[in-house]
Structure 1
Amino acid sequence: MVVTTPGVHAFRLVAVTAALTVLFALINPMPASAHIVGTGGSATNIQTRLTAIRPAVPTVAVTLGLGGQWVRVTNQGAAEVVILGYRGDPFLRLFRNQVQVNQLSATATETGLTPGSPAPGNPAAGRSAAGGLTAGGPTAGGPTAGGPTAGGKTAEPRWVRSSDGDSATWADARIGPQPASQQASGPWQLPLLVDGQQVTAVGTWDLIPPPSPWPWVAVLVLLTAAVAAIGWMRDWNRPMAAVVTVGILAFVAHVLGTGFAPQQSGPLIGWVGVGLVVAFALLVGVVSTVSTLRRSESAPDRAVTVGAIILLLAATDLSVLWNSQLPFPGPGALDRGLTVIFYAAALGLIVAGIRLVRVVKSSRIQPGRTTG
C-alpha cells in the first residue's frame, strides 16, 4: 500500500489552487495588474470622475473603472451609438444589440480590440438604422472618417461583430494622464455619436498622493513574526485555529469589498467571481480550523495550505498599502488594515506550519529508534 504523507496532500492542494487561480484569471477579462479575485481594477494613485454628458441624453451611459483603467459605454435605448477614436475615427458601435468594431480604425488596433466576423444586417455605408448619417458617412462639411484608402481619401467604416450586448468596455488612453505628462490634474473627453447627434462625455483626472506605507509594513512584519511564533509553542492548536479564522475572515471582507467597485466585466460576472472566491476561501478555512482544533496530524500541512491559498488569491493586493485609490467602498485605512491582517496570517501560517510539520514528522519517527 502506498502511503501519502500530509505534506504531499498539502502540495497537491496548493498546486490545484494555483491552477484554478490561473484558469479564473484567463476566463475573467481584466487588466494584467488587476485583482485576481475580482474585476474592480488594481489600486492606483489616479482619481477619475465623469462630470457630465453634453448634451445630456438619456439613451447612453458612461461608466469609469478605478483610475480610468477602463471605460464602458452602454446603449440605453438609442438606435445607434458610435464611439469615436483617438483621431476622430469611428471606432466602436453599439447597434442592434451588438458591439461592433471598425476594422479600418487605428484606435481599434491601438486598444487591442480584435474584430470578429462581419456583422450581419450591416446597413448601407454611412447610414444608421434611424436613417441619419453616422461617423462613417458624409458629414455636413465633407468626407467620411472611416479610415484611409489607397487614394488618400477616407473610407467607409467596415463594421464587424465583436460581441453581443449593449455595452462596450475597453481601456482608453484619453481617460487619465498621458505617459509623459507632468501635470497633477487635467480634463478628459470621450466623443460619441448618439443617433447621429454629437455627444461628449467629459470629466477630470487627478493624481492623489498615497499615504506612507511604512507604518503598515511595520505592522505587517510584527504580526507575521507573532503568527510564525506559534510554530514554536507547545499548545499551538487553539492559537493557530484563531489565526486561520481571523485571516480568512479578513480576506473575505476584503474580497467582498472589491465587489462593490465598478466591475470591468459587469456587475453580474464580477459578483459571481467574488462569490466563488469567497466560498472557496471559507471552505478551506473551515476545514483547516476544524482539523486544527481536533489536533489532527494533518493540521500543520493544512495551515501551510491556507497561507499559500490566500497569497495566490490575493495576488498583487498588497499594493493597497502604497496607493491612494482602492477598489473598496469603505475607508482606505480599513482595507489596508484587512490586507495587513490576511497577509500576515498567510505568511505566518506558512512559517509556523512548516515548523510544525517537521515536529510532527520527527515525533512520528522517534518511537522507531532503538536504544543500546
Structure 2
Amino acid sequence: MRHLIVAGCVVIAALLAPAQPVSAHGGSEADLTSDYRTRITEVPDIDGLDVRTVGLDGTIRLSWTGAGTLVVAGYEGEPYLRFDDTGVAVNTRSPAAYLNQDRYANTEIPADADPTAEPNWQPTAAGTTYEWHDHRTHWMSTTLPPQAQQDPDRSHLIIERWEIPLDIEGTITVVAGDLTGAPAPPLWP
C-alpha cells in the first residue's frame, strides 16, 4: 500500500510540474542556448541561398544551390569555407577552421594557418549544405555579459549586430543577426 501512495505522489507531482521549453534541432530561426538567443535578421535575397541557426550553440547551417561559387569569410576576412558544384571545402590555412572546433576557441592553431596565405582547400562535405560553429554569433565567455551581471532579471541585447561575410562570385554580402540574453526561468511557477 505504501508503494502505491508513493507512486501516486510521484505521478501527481509530475502532472503539476510545469513543462520546460526545449529547442529542437534543425530549421529554427533562433538558437536557444541556455539563456541566450541567436537570431538571424538578414539573409541576402539570392536564389539558392538558405542560412539558418540550428542546435544549441551558435551553429550556422548554410545551403548553397545557386550558380557559381560561394565563399564564407573567416574571422580575419580570409576564405574559410567554399561551396561549389563539387561540394563544400574548408581552407586549412584559415584560423577559423581550428577555432571553430571548440565552443570557446580554446584550441591550438597550427603555424601554417595563416589568413594571408593562399587557401588550401580540403573537401569536407559532398552536398550543398554545411553546418559549423561560428563564434561571431554567440557569447564567448563562461561568465555573464556585463549588462546581465548588472541587471540579471531583465532581457538584454548582448550583440547588437553580428555579421558573417559571404563572397558570391566576387559580390560581397553578409548574413547578419543579433544575440539576446534572457533571465533564467524560475524553477517553480
TM-score range, shorter chain: 0.5 to 0.7
Consecutive unaligned residues in structure 1, runs of 5 or more: 1-34, 114-145, 216-372
User: How far apart, CA to CA, are the structure 1 residues paired with 2:49 and 2:119?
Assistant: 22
Instruction: Identify if the C-alpha distance between structure 1 residues 39 and 198 changes in structure 2 by more than 3 Å, giving closer, same or farther.
Output: same
Instruction: Identify if the C-alpha distance between structure 1 residues 205 and 79 changes in structure 2 by more than 3 Å, giving closer, same or farther.
Output: same
User: How far apart, CA to CA, are the structure 2 residues paired with 1:74 and 1:46?
Assistant: 24
The Cα of 1:67 is off from its aligned counterpart by 5.6
User: How far apart, CA to CA, are the structure 1 residues paired with 2:113 and 2:185?
Assistant: 46
Instruction: Identify if the C-alpha distance between structure 1 residues 210 and 91 changes in structure 2 by more than 3 Å, giving closer, same or farther.
Output: same
The Cα of 1:66 is off from its aligned counterpart by 4.9
SS of residue paired to 1:148: coil
Aligned letter for 2:163? Q
Aligned positions of 1:40-55 closer than 5 A: 44-54=34-44
Consecutive unaligned residues in structure 2, runs of 5 or more: 1-21, 103-111, 148-155
The Cα of 1:39 is off from its aligned counterpart by 4.0
Q: 1:341: which partner in 2?
A: none
One of 120, 137, 153 as aligned partner of 1:158:
120
- Deviation string 1:37-77 (CA, Å, 9 cap, x unpaired) is x74587521112211124x3223211112565310111021
Instruction: Identify if the C-alpha distance between structure 1 residues 211 and 155 changes in structure 2 by more than 3 Å, giving closer, same or farther.
Output: closer
The Cα of 1:99 is off from its aligned counterpart by 1.2
Instruction: Identify if the C-alpha distance between structure 1 residues 81 and 199 changes in structure 2 by more than 3 Å, giving closer, same or farther.
Output: same
Q: 2:80: which partner in 1?
A: 91
Given the two structures, how large is their TM-score scaled by the length of structure 2?
A: 0.65
Aligned positions of 1:312-331 closer than 5 A: none
Number of equivalences: 142
Q: 2:162: which partner in 1?
A: 188
The Cα of 1:203 is off from its aligned counterpart by 1.0
Instruction: Identify if the C-alpha distance between structure 1 residues 48 and 67 changes in structure 2 by more than 3 Å, giving closer, same or farther.
Output: farther
The answer to whether the Cα contact below 8 Å between 2:53 and 2:60 also exists between their aligned partners in 1 is yes
User: How far apart, CA to CA, are the structure 1 residues paired with 2:25 and 2:81?
Assistant: 22
Which protein has the bigger strand share?
2
User: How far apart, CA to CA, are the structure 1 residues paired with 2:86 and 2:32?
Assistant: 30
Q: 2:4: which partner in 1?
A: none
User: How far apart, CA to CA, are the structure 2 residues paired with 1:170 and 1:81?
Assistant: 15
Q: 1:72: which partner in 2?
A: 61
The Cα of 1:98 is off from its aligned counterpart by 0.9
Q: 1:60: which partner in 2?
A: 49
Given the two structures, how large is their TM-score scaled by the length of structure 1?
A: 0.35
Q: After the TM superposition, which segments of 4 or more aligned residues of structure 1 sit over 6 Å from their partners?
A: none
| Bigger Rg, which one | 1
The Cα of 1:211 is off from its aligned counterpart by 2.3
User: How far apart, CA to CA, are the structure 1 residues paired with 2:85 and 2:36?
Assistant: 35
Name the % identity: 27
Instruction: Identify if the C-alpha distance between structure 1 residues 174 and 57 changes in structure 2 by more than 3 Å, giving closer, same or farther.
Output: same
Q: 1:313: which partner in 2?
A: none
